[in-house]
Structure 1
Amino acid sequence: MKILFTSTAVALLCVVALLSSCSKRQQSQKTGIPYNDKNNGGYVKFRQTHPAPGPGLVAIEGGTFVLGGSADQDVTYEYNNVRSRKTIPSFYMDETEVSNQDWIDYLHWISSTFPQDRELYYNALPDTLVWRSPLSYNEPYVDNYLRHPAFQDYPVVGVSWDQAQDYCQWRTDRVNEHILQDKGLLLTGKQKASGQTTAAAGAAGAGTTAANTPFNTDIYLNGQYTGVGIDGKKMIKDISARPATGANAPANGKAVRPARMEDGILKPAYRLPSEAEWEYAALALAGNTQYENINDGKVYPWNGLGVRSAKKKTRGLMMANFKRGLGDNAGVGGYLNDKADITAPVRSYQPNDFGLYNMAGNVSEWVQDTYRQGSSEESDDFNPFRGNEFTNKRLADATKGQYAKDKYGKPIKDPSKSNKKMTYAELIASQQPTQGPTPNNAAPQAATTAALPAKSALAGKAYTPDYRGFGDTVNTSLYGTTTLVSDRSKVYKGGSWNDLAYWLNPATRRFMNEDDSRADVGFRCAMTLVGAPEISPSGKSHFSVKKPKPYKGK
């Protein structure tokens, strides 16, 4: 009985200590001011998080690798991927290629959200005519491949680089919108239809977006997507604001706000992977490392020098969907070797050591980079990328910080005007449209930005935001005239169902104009990982770090 009493007392003391520690507010390590206290102006500290990947993504732990190192030959004599050591930061990547069903979801949203905008829908349609060939009867694929349910889990093709960019932006907004609706921070479509609104929403203030305007992440984070018919019933309590009074006063007397970036609720943007990210993820050397030692190199996303399975149950089967030789796309009838004649479902074959499917074969994939032959040598050794076109969101009202929006509710983006933070006077002045020359290599701009200069001089220094051809030793005006390379040339990686085994090597690279498409090129999305790069810290050695002592004034 005495033992029982002692253990119970210890347990109670632990509970009391836990409750007392929870009751103490955190304070700034540098000022001693308590956080999250409405009595000192709502000095807020947000919970530190290591967010999970967005839907469809898997985590790729970064590290150092030799870009181009898996290439054992250069049959095209391009010398366009010279070996160079690079460091890739951790990121997220789609487990599979984007499928026909994924694209049909996109088209359905467009048709239901903008039923009268035929141009928007038409521009989002893949080019199904990529299947046509003068000496092949591929017309059935023209009519059936995208929409027939038999092909719904096959990779979408006929999509240009420009269309892939639009899909990434759409996917970002739909994922974040769904997250906010699921948490009760936004009304769902059903709630809007039934007329449900939050009592705390009040009248829509200046700069807010109408409830029938599609959600956009940037506009939402800038506080321009809120109000009656938008705000959900579980808005976040705003301890830094005074409750509204009068007609707009919330029923419970508490001030609320939308989510902020600091809350860690919303996901970063979906995007195409960089070329280096794609090659690193496809090679998946992480499966062959131990204590920073790489036990075996790779030629393909799997181990070994061959393209056939060595496992007993699948011995002899092809490890990817590709063309074995001229006229051999599938193998012999009665025992089709790779089980596919054109594309295959996006979850076919074995995933690589990162858990990614079809990083060799099936379809080649667009990446974010602009093509140059010597990019691997010229790019930075950390997070290498070529193709930067720096932009700023246009301000509709610079004094209020409100973004200008296009007819689809998206922020209008202009070429950036400086390589550093402008003074406030320069910022205000930069928002005034002026006439100026457009360089030959400038990206085409929307009509709304045509009046703005592509180059501006701040403090007497010229600046260009277009770095796709940075460091070119050849006059950029010659590109597209003397060669096939231009600032609109984008890289695509990996072999396809219509390629020989050479192109299955992750180091191989090809290019195509950003507005072109093919029947053997698709894509998958990526997302930047924010926070610590280590994906699975458990079970690994770490230095112990002490928590800071709370400040106690004498």
Structure 2
Amino acid sequence: MYTFLLAGLLVSCKKGGSKSSWKKKDGTSDVTGWHYNDKDQGGYYVAKPKDIKTGPGLVFVQGGTFTMGSTEEDVMGDNNNFPRRVTVNSFFIDKTEVANVHYREYIHWIENVFSDPQYEAVVQGAKPDTLVWRSELAYNEPYVEYYFRHPSYNYYPVVGVTWRQAHDFCIWRTDRVNELALIKSGYQNKNLIKQEMNGGGQDNFNTKSYLMGEYEGVPGKPKKNPLKDAQGRPRTTVAFEDGILFPDYRLPTEAEWEYAALGLVSENPAPRRSEKKRGEELIANKQIYAWKNDGYDNLRATKKGAMQGAMLANFKRGNGDYMGVSGGLNDRSAIPASVTSFFPNGFGLYNMSGNVSEWVADVYRPNSLLDVDDINPYRGNVFMQVDKSGGEGNMRDSLGRIKMIPENDSALADRRNYQRSYAINYLDGDSASRVFYGYGVTTLISDQSRVIKGGSWLDMPYWLSPGARRFYEEYESSATIGFRCAMTHYGAPESGSTKTKTGNFFPKRRQKR
């Protein structure tokens, strides 16, 4: 049967097909021999392998191994950051903390897209709590009124944002970046923006909804369109496999955040640039703060020059000293400072020590560093699946996002790698570990407790160490807590057009017989 089928195809090719199409060698399947991107051979489209583009605002962080946890005697007695060696894969992270102007952009979009009165709770729920500045024994009312809104504070870190709000901001940012990528590529019409901003409501662009075919938008007509369907006709619907869309923005894991804060790449005197030149993989004594130890005082610039003696971070120097004496001003900032101020670390990231503490993705547990995996460690998983109960065409919620529900545990019974969808308390508060948290009775730790890192303008130097960790409930906010976003880097751990290989490649040698 297969012989006759192949013969028929060859005859068809000789009569009306393109002979050159059947002879070309580029883009051929190693397992079938059929050609990719060829309408005469099935039209299976395969994008050329390429490195992921760096999304707006992000910096590439090459992964590696490091010692996560405390760096000096635990003077606070928390015992929650025992040192442990782990590995994180490469990722992207924001160069700076998310600023007021960025979050106001988000609010502007929310207010216009969800302008219908039925969405009033959505609009109000996205706004930061400016009352976090209020104090019974301090005059902070100007900050309550103006810190978030006044242009003077445009590029100061947004505060008063809960973990949940920060999480939603990341989803919004993913959709806006991908929507713009499609418009620039010509796969969505530019008039889509006006349509959305005129009270689009549920019918707004969402990446997952688009990829699942639940959202069409306003298709465009790209001038140069390499995308084809099985019959060779131009295709205007983009799939993730086409390499046009960005991965999701998200909050960084605690391990990613701490690794990025340490900036260990600066310890390597000869970074790998080719197969013939490699670094020495050196890690010196672990630094105390986000920049490499340099001199006696790790909080001030010690090298001779105009900046010698200048504070490297925004923090509380001592009781009642938030910015120094008039005429000197040791850090020139009584409250949060602009997001690009102070000394960047080895990865070029600003304010990983000081300014504002930052939300990370992890659920807090005192022993997380001992419990979690030693590669890409993270506690906080709830494994979800698409809710298809409404049928095709009805899988979006009122905000235009795909409805998700936890996986059914009964369907996971035969799996070896996991058997429960709710993994937040795995081996730490469930029947398997026989450890339980009595929230409100014996502890303030719950499954809604989220880790904060980095120290703030209100903190003493101890909390500026990347290994220090505290927690807040995910529905709470503070004048000392902000956030920055991250993004997964797919593929090879090195970045750049000449560094897309995974593994080591040696010269080919003929086998001896």
Contact 2:201–2:399 under 8 Å retained in 1: no
Q: Distance in 1 between matches of 2:62 and 2:286?
A: 18
Aligned position for 2:218? 230
Pick closer, same or farther for the CA change 1:212–1:378 going to 2, 3 Å: closer
Count of residues in Structure 1 that have an aligned counterpart in Structure 2:
459
Q: Distance in 1 between matches of 2:227 and 2:498?
A: 36
Aligned position for 1:112? 112
Q: Distance in 2 between matches of 1:83 and 1:321?
A: 26
Aligned position for 2:456? 496
Aligned position for 2:73? 73
Pick closer, same or farther for the CA change 1:397–1:44 going to 2, 3 Å: farther
Across the aligned residues of Structure 1 and Structure 2, the Cα RMSD in angstroms comes to: 2.6
Q: Aligned AA for 2:424? A: R
Q: Distance in 2 between matches of 1:223 and 1:38?
A: 23
Aligned position for 1:526? 486
Aligned position for 1:284? 263
| Local SS of the residue matching 1:119 | helix
- C-alpha distance after superposition, 1:514-537 (max 9, x if no partner): 000100000000000001001368
- C-alpha distance after superposition, 1:110-158 (max 9, x if no partner): 1111112221110011011100111111011000000000001000000
Contact 1:37–1:239 under 8 Å retained in 2: no
Contact 1:288–1:296 under 8 Å retained in 2: no
Which residue of the other structure, out of 138, 141, 146, is the alignment partner of 2:140? 138
Aligned ranges for residues 97-496 of structure 1 at < 5 Å?
97-116=97-116, 117-189=119-191, 213-226=203-216, 230-234=218-222, 236=225, 239-242=228-231, 254-290=233-269, 291-304=280-293, 306-311=298-303, 312-396=305-389, 404-418=395-409, 456=410, 463-472=419-428, 473=433, 475-476=435-436, 478-496=438-456
Q: Distance in 2 between matches of 1:478 and 1:299?
A: 34
Shift of 1:211: 11
Shift of 1:242: 4.3
Q: Distance in 2 between matches of 1:169 and 1:63?
A: 27
Q: State which drifts further: 464-473 or 259-268.
A: 464-473
Q: Aligned AA for 1:217? A: T
- C-alpha distance after superposition, 1:70-117 (max 9, x if no partner): x21212211101111000100000000000000000000011111122
Pick closer, same or farther for the CA change 1:340–1:393 going to 2, 3 Å: same
Contact 1:98–1:155 under 8 Å retained in 2: yes
Shift of 1:240: 3.2
Q: TM-score, normalising length from structure 2?
A: 0.84
Shift of 1:468: 1.1
Q: State which drifts further: 506-515 or 286-295.
A: 286-295
Q: State which drifts further: 37-46 or 482-491.
A: 37-46
Pick closer, same or farther for the CA change 1:538–1:240 going to 2, 3 Å: closer
Aligned position for 1:59? 60
Q: State which drifts further: 472-481 or 348-357.
A: 472-481
Contact 1:36–1:42 under 8 Å retained in 2: yes
Aligned position for 2:43? 42
Pick closer, same or farther for the CA change 1:296–1:287 going to 2, 3 Å: farther
Contact 1:284–1:354 under 8 Å retained in 2: yes
Contact 2:50–2:497 under 8 Å retained in 1: no
Shift of 1:331: 0.2
Aligned position for 1:437? none
| Local SS of the residue matching 1:86 | strand
Aligned position for 1:453? none
Q: Distance in 2 between matches of 1:499 and 1:182?
A: 44
Contact 1:216–1:409 under 8 Å retained in 2: yes
- C-alpha distance after superposition, 1:143-176 (max 9, x if no partner): 0000000001000000000100110000000000
What is the aligned-residue identity percentage? 46
Q: Distance in 2 between matches of 1:62 and 1:458?
A: 32
Pick closer, same or farther for the CA change 1:273–1:403 going to 2, 3 Å: farther
Shift of 1:479: 2.9
Q: Distance in 2 between matches of 1:110 and 1:162?
A: 16
Contact 1:368–1:490 under 8 Å retained in 2: yes
Aligned position for 2:475? 515
Contact 1:88–1:382 under 8 Å retained in 2: yes
Shift of 1:337: 1.1
Pick closer, same or farther for the CA change 1:481–1:225 going to 2, 3 Å: same
Q: Distance in 2 between matches of 1:191 and 1:384?
A: 39
Q: Distance in 1 between matches of 2:249 and 2:193?
A: 27
Aligned position for 2:275? none
Shift of 1:55: 0.4
Q: Distance in 1 between matches of 2:208 and 2:316?
A: 44
Pick closer, same or farther for the CA change 1:369–1:53 going to 2, 3 Å: same
Which ranges of structure 2 fall in alignment gaps of 5 or more residues?
1-19, 270-279, 509-513
Contact 1:41–1:240 under 8 Å retained in 2: no
Q: Distance in 1 between matches of 2:439 and 2:146?
A: 38
Q: Distance in 2 between matches of 1:477 and 1:285?
A: 36
Pick closer, same or farther for the CA change 1:545–1:115 going to 2, 3 Å: farther
Q: State which drifts further: 275-284 or 474-483.
A: 474-483
Contact 2:133–2:141 under 8 Å retained in 1: yes
Pick closer, same or farther for the CA change 1:274–1:23 going to 2, 3 Å: same
Contact 1:91–1:527 under 8 Å retained in 2: yes
Contact 1:417–1:463 under 8 Å retained in 2: no
Shift of 1:486: 0.5
Q: Distance in 1 between matches of 2:414 and 2:426?
A: 21
Q: State which drifts further: 504-513 or 108-117.
A: 108-117
Q: Distance in 2 between matches of 1:514 and 1:77?
A: 24
- C-alpha distance after superposition, 1:337-366 (max 9, x if no partner): 101000000000121010100000000000
Which ranges of structure 1 fall in alignment gaps of 5 or more residues?
1-18, 194-209, 244-253, 419-455, 547-554
Pick closer, same or farther for the CA change 1:65–1:404 going to 2, 3 Å: same
- C-alpha distance after superposition, 1:51-71 (max 9, x if no partner): 1211000000000000115x2
Pick closer, same or farther for the CA change 1:530–1:457 going to 2, 3 Å: closer
- C-alpha distance after superposition, 1:296-349 (max 9, x if no partner): 531111122520111321111110000000000000011111010000000001
Q: Aligned AA for 2:450? A: K
Shift of 1:187: 1.0
Q: Aligned AA for 2:255? A: A
